Amino acid sequence: MSKRILFMGTPDYATAIFKELISKKYEMVGLFTQPDKPVGRKQILTPPHIKQFCLDKNLNIPIFQPLKLRNNQEAKKEIEDLKPDFIIVAAYGQILPKEILDIAPCINLHASLLPKYRGASPIQESLLNDDIYTGVTSMLMEEGLDSGDILAFQYLKITDTMEVSEAFEKLSLIAAKLTVTTLENFENIKPLKQNELEVSFCKKIKKEDGLVDFLDAKKLYLKYKAYSYWPGIFLESELKIKDIELNDEISINNEGQILEIKDDFIVIGCKKGSLRIKTLQAPSKKAINSIDFIRGQRLEINSILI
């Protein structure tokens, strides 16, 4: 018998899972996603990634975009009327209240190896902490934040140069396959309680989290890997630093000193370690090659980048 699936998700991570479920011929009875939001300088009202996918593909699936689910009797009735066998949740952006959790088994695809990194930014947190592995966990949802019983999980090895966009892409594909595996084996899975002694949390990322200095090259590089998509990394002067490679972790230098000027990058010293920087972007300017930037600023070897 075909399983009736109600899907809840918002960004491209969720879309990858949604696409996989459609390709496996599950009966998709509805989509809950966040409301359209104004984007860019012109504040153009823009649908979430997953809604845009549905529109582009002309999918005949009801779409719901409530501002909130808690104490929302209309949303509760809409879900009940859809009669889902399962509610699949992936980066939806809202916590599900008990009255919705009770309608059908709710399975969340969380992009970490729970109980590590419960919360809003698990992928970025794994990169910030220089973890060797991350992964995806499918879990039964309960009222707590990412605290439900584990149904299945899969690892992803983090390479030395993996940035957040690549990690998101790889984890979304893992999550898509893991969702199908979980659904197909649901009746035979024995849920596993999370070990509360190993719990850690991660926060919602803010723009100011991208602020960096030239104290420690490795820490700056890890911030770059975690935040290169958004909010990016920038100095106190608001100079944005892009296209970075870790040059070394142990040398002792003056903070921000230009150590070398190569054909397509500059080497910047940190109090500990150094970095290769290919692209810089001044406030309200376009991103340019770092060589062109320092020439325009009349900077040379031993000058300080601020």
The pLDDT assigned to 25 comes to 87
Helix residue ranges per DSSP H, the chain: 12-23, 49-56, 73-82, 98-101, 122-128, 164-184, 217-227, 290-296
Q: Percent of the chain scored above 90 by pLDDT? A: 96
pLDDT in tens, 96-141: 999 999 999 999 999 999 999 999 999 999 999 999 999 999 999 9
Q: Hey, what are 269's tokens?
A: 């010293």
Q: What is the mean pLDDT of residues 158-187?
A: 97
Burial class (CB in 10 A: 0-12, 13-18, 19+), 121: buried
- Please list the residues that pair with 155 across neighbouring strands: 135
Are the C-beta atoms of 288 and 281 separated by less than 8 Å? yes
CB atoms within 10 A of CB 303: 14
- Please list the residues that pair with 154 across neighbouring strands: 136
56 band by pLDDT with thresholds 50, 70 and 90: very high
CA separation for the pair 131, 190 (Å, rounded): 28
CA separation for the pair 255, 280 (Å, rounded): 17
Torsion of CA 20, 25, 31, 36, to 10 degrees: 50
The pLDDT assigned to 41 comes to 84
The pLDDT assigned to 37 comes to 95
CA separation for the pair 268, 258 (Å, rounded): 5
Q: What is the mean pLDDT of residues 26-47?
A: 94
The pLDDT assigned to 281 comes to 97
CA separation for the pair 15, 96 (Å, rounded): 19
Are the C-beta atoms of 175 and 16 separated by less than 8 Å? yes
Q: What is the mean pLDDT of residues 81-99?
A: 96
Q: What is the mean pLDDT of residues 237-247?
A: 97
CA separation for the pair 245, 228 (Å, rounded): 12
Instruction: Using DSSP, state whether 149 is helix, strand or coil.
Output: coil
Q: What is the 3-state secondary structure (H, E, C) of 30-47?
A: EEECCCCEEECCCCEEEC
Given a cut of 80, is residue 275 above it in pLDDT? yes
Q: What is the mean pLDDT of residues 289-303?
A: 96
Backbone angles phi, psi at 202, to 5 degrees: -130, 150
Given a cut of 60, is residue 1 above it in pLDDT? no
- List Cα–Cα distances, 246 to 216, 234, 299, in angstroms: 11, 16, 22
Instruction: Using DSSP, state whether 250 is helix, strand or coil.
Output: strand
Given a cut of 80, is residue 2 above it in pLDDT? no
| Segment (H or E) for 252 | strand 240-252
- List Cα–Cα distances, 89 to 93, 239, 281, 287, 291, in angstroms: 10, 38, 37, 37, 46
Q: Hey, what are 258's tokens?
A: 């230009």
Query: Which pairs with CB-CB distance under 8 Å and at least 24 residues apart come from 78-84?
Result: 78/30, 79/6, 79/30, 79/32, 79/103, 82/4, 82/6, 82/29, 82/30, 83/4, 83/29, 84/4, 84/5, 84/6, 84/29, 84/30
